């Protein structure tokens, strides 16, 4: 019986993980719980290339086509991966549409409340801002 591994701490760890997730969601509010927006990419190899999944980040070409500066993107919750290449124009256009959809629903809070910038959202929009709980713009696995 000496070599038996018990897992009596499992429920407590589950509770601790849950509490940390809730605390992080409160801390980053009203930013999305799921993290930054990620692009739609195809899985590698012949076996899986029919499936699509979330990639690491958008390419610089996708950001440029959507009219978003590469340094501005991470500050508003858009993941950027400068190493990724666009191998098809269809995938590029799909990700550009994804970026434009995100940009249209974005509510920008001013850095200084006393003098907001032109691009910042109005006070009414800021009041209705809510924290998205699930994934941002869900990706259909097979396309």
Query: What are the structural domain ranges in the chain?
Result: 36-103+135-143
Nearest Cα residue to 106 out of 114, 115, 116, 98:
98
pLDDT tens by residue, 46-93: 999 999 999 999 999 999 999 999 999 999 999 999 999 999 999 999
Binned at pLDDT 50, 70 and 90, residue 108 comes out as confident
CA distance 141 to 143: 7
Nearest Cα residue to 69 out of 77, 82, 60:
60
pLDDT at residue 143 greater than cutoff 70: no
pLDDT of residue 85: 96
pLDDT tens by residue, 16-39: 999 999 999 999 988 899 999 999
């Amino acid at each position: 019986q000496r070599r038996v591994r018990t897992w009596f701490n499992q429920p407590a760890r589950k509770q601790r993980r849950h509490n940390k997730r809730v605390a992080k969601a409160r801390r980053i509010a009203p930013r999305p719980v799921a993290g930054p927006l990620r692009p739609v990419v195809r899985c590698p190899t012949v076996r899986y290339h029919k499936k699509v999944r979330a990639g690491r980040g958008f390419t610089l070409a996708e950001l440029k086509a959507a009219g978003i500066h590469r340094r501005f993107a991470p500050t508003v919750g858009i993941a950027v991966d400068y190493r990724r290449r666009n191998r098809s124009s269809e995938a590029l256009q799909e990700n550009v549409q994804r970026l434009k959809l995100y940009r249209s629903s974005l509510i920008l809070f001013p850095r200084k409340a006393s003098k907001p910038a032109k691009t910042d959202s109005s006070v009414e929009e800021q009041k209705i801002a809510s924290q998205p709980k699930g994934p941002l713009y869900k990706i259909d696995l097979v396309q």
